[in-house]
Amino acid sequence: MNSTPEPTLFSLGEKGFIGALLPGLYRDPRLVSGFGHDASVIELDGAPFDLIQKIDRASYPVSLKNGWSGYRSWGRMAITANCSDILASGGTPVSCMIAVMLPGDELAANAADIVAGAAEECRRNGVVFAGGDTKEARDPHVVGTAAGIIERGAFLPRDTAEPGDVLFCAGRFGGFGGAFFLLQHEHAGPDWVRYLSHPVAQWDAARLVNRHRLARCGMDASDGLLDVLRSLASGGAGVRLDLAAMPYHPFAVECARRTPVPLTQLLFAGGDWNIVYSVPKDGADELARLAAAAGAPLFRIGEVIADPGAVLAVDGDGRHFELRGVVNEHFKNRIEDATSFMDHIAHGDFLHPSRP
């Protein structure tokens, strides 16, 4: 008698596991908008603001794995990963802590550098570094957590985009992927190393968006643009990118010129700590004006359409594409492994021709 094998985390993938888990969890009424967003908001009764929290394991930095940077990059990533999600959700990070888990034979100087990197990134952005925890473990891991405040009603979910909204991106695409592939092709460049080892959240652009409350929803794009677009389209609408309007990072342009990696593939590489926003049409021009006045890196990149679940793109010649491919996902394809996911960026294809 054949029996169906129990699913494993590998067979489900991170997103499949979470998708199956969350509906069965009790949702406290103080948890604003439930689970499954970039950060969690807890209503504080009687307070003039709410609490916003995030916890995230910091991926083993690609720059550290390849010997391009030291251990401070890992501490910086732990802070950036958590603060970026709070910013993308409409909040203001206030404090961060990290948990460092390392084998006993790890150099004490490396552990100290992880903590120093985290503390430095907090100080650079006016966030309180509140300490953390150090434990022994078989394999090295760093986990960060952040707490902040958010105005009541200012929470930005992932999946409430509506047809007619305009898509904006805070930050440029392809810097991480471009720097990675340039270094892989043995082109030396300290600027590329610095970019990979100093992950920076979109502090200025996010603060502008959050202060004026013009966005309907937002999502951190560090796992890649396709992951964001699928999330935006999961709420009953669709999305369409304007490929001619994509704001590429200079490293992406240089990578496409000096290596075989196509420029459009670098849109989906992730690692740049961008934030994608869905903005109601009547607020889009105002946001563009405010961004231009402040010099904030906010760019129109597409629109939300009345085609549920569709993830599409159109280029400058009017050709239409369906966007398909792998995303950065634990237990399946991870940026930090610098193998399967980055191989797909280099050799796969996300743009599949379709009819309008």
223 is in an annotated binding site: yes
CB atoms < 10 A from the CB of 3, how many?
5
Give the alpha-carbon dihedral of 166, 168, 173, 176, to 10 degrees: -130
222 is in an annotated binding site: yes
89 is in an annotated binding site: no
307 is in an annotated binding site: no
Q: How far apart are CA 24 and CA 119, in angstroms?
A: 37
45 is in an annotated binding site: no
By C-alpha distance, which of 161, 39, 168, 159 is closest to 91?
39
Tell me how far CA of residue 79 lies from CA of 97, 113, 138, 338, in angstroms: 8, 14, 23, 21
* Residues annotated within a binding site for Mg(2+): 38, 56, 85, 133, 220, 223
Q: Which residues belong to the annotated binding site? A: 38, 56, 85, 132-133, 158, 220, 222-223
| Residue ranges at the known binding site for ATP | 132-133, 158, 222
